[in-house]
Amino acid sequence: MPKILVIDDDEFVNGMIVQLLSEAGYEAEGAGDGNSGLKILESKQFDLIITDIVMPEKEGIETIIAIRNMDKTLPIIAISGGGKIDPRHYLKMAEHFGADRTFQKPFDRKDFLAAIQKCLSRRQGTQSNHNLIRTQL
Phi, psi of 76 (to 5 degrees): -130, 130
Alpha-carbon distance values, 101 to 98, 115, 137 (Å): 9, 7, 33
What confidence score (pLDDT) does residue 125 get?
A: 63
pLDDT in tens, 24-83: 999 999 999 999 999 999 999 999 999 999 998 899 999 999 999 999 999 999 999 876
Q: Are 120 and 47 in contact (CB under 8 A)?
A: yes
Domain segments of the chain as ranges: 3-136
Other CB atoms within 10 A of residue 73 CB: 11
Closest by CA position to 20, among listed 104, 113, 101: 113
What is the percent of the chain with per-residue pLDDT over 90, rounded to a whole number? 79
Average pLDDT over residues 1-26: 97
* Residue 133 reports pLDDT greater than 70: no
The CATH number that domain 3-136 falls under is 3.40.50.2300
What confidence score (pLDDT) does residue 127 get?
A: 53
Spatial distance between the Cα atoms of 129 and 7, rounded to a whole number of angstroms:
29
* 1, burial (CB in 10 Å: exposed 0-12, middle 13-18, buried 19+): exposed
